[in-house]
A and B are shown apart, each in its own frame.
Chain A
Amino acid sequence: MSNYVVEMLNITKKFPGIVANDNINLKLKKGEIHALLGENGAGKSTLMNILFGLYQPTEGEIRINGKKEIINNANRAIELGIGMVHQHFKLVEPFTVTENIILGSEPTTGGSINYKKAVKQVEEISNQYGLQVDPHAKIENISVGMQQRVEIIKTLYRGADILIFDEPTAVLTPQEIDELLDIMRNLVAQGKSIILITHKLKEIMAICDMVTIIRRGKGIGSIATKDASPEILAEKMVGRQVSFEREKEKAQPKGPILKLNNVSMKNEKNVNVLNNISFEVKAGEVLGIAGVDGNGQSELIQAISGLRKINGGQITINNHDITNKNPRKIAESGVAHIPEDRHKHGLVLDFMMTENMVLKSYYKKPFNKNGFLDYKAVDEYAKKLIEQFDVRTPTIYDKARSLSGGNQQKGIIAREINLQPELLIAAQPTRGLDVGAIEFIHSQLIEERNKDKAVLLISYELEEILQVSDRILVIYEGQIIGEVYPEETNDKELGLMMAGKKLTKEG
């Protein structure tokens, strides 16, 4: 009898033209938390989709509890006790917690759903594993952390013993991350086994027993976390040494570039989403805005970049009033913007990369000649940018859609930095990217700062805020509730402030 609950042996998966998984081995012991580490596009999702029955391996075999299995659909995976907690929750928003959990396998009496029984079952699971949820609350009214607990209960309700977590901490606040880690410890204590897909090294070191690393589809091997360090893991993942420290000199801020004066914005329900916000970003500094998602960050960016009108206050760039001006006017007064949602706001995915590179400058010389576009000039410019920023694309004529997330983001950064802005707004610039790309993007932001540009960094990742910023403001419910310096604070203090606790400076 093998003591492994999951053995994926010599798994190879070929798609036409590419080998997504090349001879990968992953062995999960009972009661273990096993990390699956790799860059974006390394093949983590493919491997897990094979385990979950969504793909069939080209070669190799899967054993569950020592027995060879062919998992040809997700239902079979569920029968075998495998459950997946997806990164993007698959929940029906207007349904209650209980309804979502039982969806698809409802307890029935005489053809109608027995809600009483369902609620009882949900409560049992919730108590057993310390997963606090309100069975009667609607999904749309509960926090992201609780939604994730609903997803976990969903898999447990279906009898999962082996849980796959796909990037579970990407959407959580620091406090919620701590709670999740406790939940995971609790689950393994009760005999469950967990595979954690992630590229966050800190979490791996904190919670996992073993790590299996994939690089560009190839299995690099497995290593016990007690024998590893973040540096070793990063090197194995990327294939070269990665620096975690952001090399930067102390900031030498000059005069203010961006000034916000009592800026307020109301939403459709006439509620203030931005409440009397005032701050300035100086030339030669990175100002970080820390906060939990949904506390007004998006609105703040929209206000500065002109995508949404403000109801009160004033915004200036170099003492030039840009309040409620249109986005082009604002861009022309020196504002570049790496948007939060690169697919929605950053790129036209079905445009070629060449067209995307001039999305903000196509109307200017040398691209625009009397109303006609000089595509030769466009191609030359795009080629230069793509080479300079090492955007990996088969050709410059490929559609933006076909590039990986990291390369799409590099493309956007290339375009925005080349606008020679006075102020660079970077909203969640590294969301979903791997350490190699993150390192690159952070160094670009710091370089802009060193060129005496003003950089406004908005991020939900505390680590990013602390590493890159020279000064940090905390936003909570549309208000700036504190200002700290990265060298004088830590993630615990910032986390509390992000949860709305004001710094009490006594005396």
Chain B
Amino acid sequence: MKLPLSWLKEHTPLNAPVAEIADTLIRLGHEVEGVESPRADVKGVRVGQIQSMQPHPDADKLKLLKVDIGEAEPLVIVCGASNMGEGDKVPVATIGTSLPNGMKIKKGKIRGQTSFGMCCSEAELGLAEDAAGLLILPSDAPVGAEVGDYLELEEAVFDLSITPNRGDCMNARGIARDLAADADLPFSDVPCPDVSVDAGIASPAISVSAEDDCPLYMARRIEGVRVGDSPLWLQGRLLAAGQRPVNGVVDVLNYLMLDLGQPMHAFDAGTLKGGVCIRSATEGEAFAALDGRELKLSDGDLVVADSSSVLALAGIMGSLHSGVTEFTADILLESAFFRPARVSTTRRIYAMVSEASMRFERGVDPAMVAVAMQRATAMITELFGGKAGEVSISGAADSIQGGQSLSCSLKRLQTRLGVEIPASCDAVLSRMGFDVRRDGDRIDVTVPSYRHDISIPEDISEEYARVIGFDAIPATMPQLDITRPDIPDASIASAVADGFVQVITYAFIPRNEQRLFAEADGADIELANPLSDAMTVMRRSIWPGLLNIARHNLNRQQAGVALVEQGRTYVRTAGGHDENNLMAWLMTGEVQRDDWFAAARQADFFDLKGAVEAWLQNRGLSARFVADDKVRGLQPGQSAQVLVGRGIVGRIGKVDAGIADAFDIEVPVFVAEINLDALPEGKAPKFAPLAEFPGVERDLVFLFDRGTQAEDILQAVRKAGGRFLTEARIFDLYEGQGVSEGKISLGVRFMLQAADRTLTQEDSDAAMNAITEAIEKRFSATLRG
């Protein structure tokens, strides 16, 4: 909401500097988003009179002007406009002036002719968004005067963001009241003019059947008006407040809404049929709204209607056909209090918002309903003629909640704020309209009718906090109990230490990407109101997100990426839904680039497997990898389940080439995921004595059938190896020349060790023989050496 300082000054004689007023507004809880200074913005622009106008010798579209700005010599100005003539008065930006659009005026040559200033349009002065030509000033404008002074441009316009609880401050009077109370300045009552009523004009027939939603309704007829444009001062106010003038009657009502906070509505009485009733809409009732929409209303919507149609969604928007136009002669003027929750609900259902609804849904001042009606009547008849009839009234202002009394403990208020509340604050609250009485520890407060946001002692504590100023409240530390601190989650840190870059992707993904790794089994959770097709369904796998990020980076000349993400996946279940905490990895492209010491190498299954193993090991866990050709989206033969103990905790494998291709990735892509919720607690390392006696290292190389799994071999080895075998691992894998078709050569390296002595040749020979025997028996394998 924009409010010019001059408007505030009509309510209270503010004399502090603008910056200080802005600070006070902020302290009182009215956020100042900006302060414009239209007058200062055009400082240096002066009223000039065109003495002579000649064509530019070298440019058809330019003119050479001699402009008198009240100095000894007229200025020579090159000008491109064409709407002026000799004798016209125009704004002249003199050398050194900075205009609101950022242009700085300098002496300069235009097509060979020196120009000593610039004649300005409304747009260049920041008074309009665009303009066809120069602003031609009235002929009585004093030559040489500052244009800002002459046009009485605003000294300051505050751009305020009013919080939803302060409906009472969505107008000049409310803001002025807070400022006046704070600075202890006089604050004038709103004049409620006497209106001469023409007895010949019937008071309108009104009937209110929805009294809960409309506890107070006033209406009167004004007949014989001639709706013209509103006066310039009023248009200026509206423009300064950011509103466009419409027509005289509408402008008056908007002006009063911005001044007093009471939205009113004027119907063209000539379009009405019968009296008006304020009632709940019938189911399916049609309403052609002013914004051009055709609505089907529902039971419960509060409407103002005549005998044939809906004239307005009460407090929100009028109908397309009942509004006041320049042809309207008779007006039905409405001023009312509509229940905030009703306006809010209806407005939300139809996604409508208007200046009126914003005020009604925050609550207007019941006491202002009648005052605004009188002010509007007086202004309209004064400006546009016509005669006013008697007001019809339904309900009463004092039936509306307001003026309620609260009683609270001073001690409690002070405890909650952590600061003393001096009695001097009561005077400020009184000036804000509260009635405050102290009696020992008790504070009794009567709340003014316009403060719908005050209903409990905590609300009073906030009022005091505003008056004291949050800055004046000390900062102290609360007592915090000694608790066992939570151990920070190192899931990401350990993957990052292993060379992975952590990413964060959206939890919602496109439906087609969901299908890549999750079946269409009804477990998807879909957004009812997605922002785009790319964010329609809650992810059941993190892999699509990672694939998108991999593509993004590969397209930016990264030869390889190693990504990790920690986040949730979301699955619908019979009883509701599950949110699983997952770690997900992706590796693709080069893990080793061409370097002076090595040739480039692409990532393979075992690069990622190693990373997952290392990550688990960091948590004190070890895993088994069990081949599984049926993991959706992964390539058979290069995919596996990850098991810790007996439980499946994750999956790993190569992304189907077709899927990778769909993400424009031409190199193999490997992904893995681990369900953090399924992981057992790792074991903290326990001390064991270090071996005292040296171990013996031995190698055996066997020929196996292709397809024999390393894990099976090592298991057989461990079983047969006896008590001295401490370690066994595959150190060589070979197939090809020298190894017959269908066979692989595997080298196994053993470590044999005893805790109490150095092993003898016989000991290790015995172990090797046992292992060889077991392997040859269990597999169709032969010892090579």
Q: Do A and B bind each other?
A: no
Hey, which bits of chain B sit against chain A, CB under 8 A?
none
Hey, which bits of chain A sit against chain B, CB under 8 A?
none
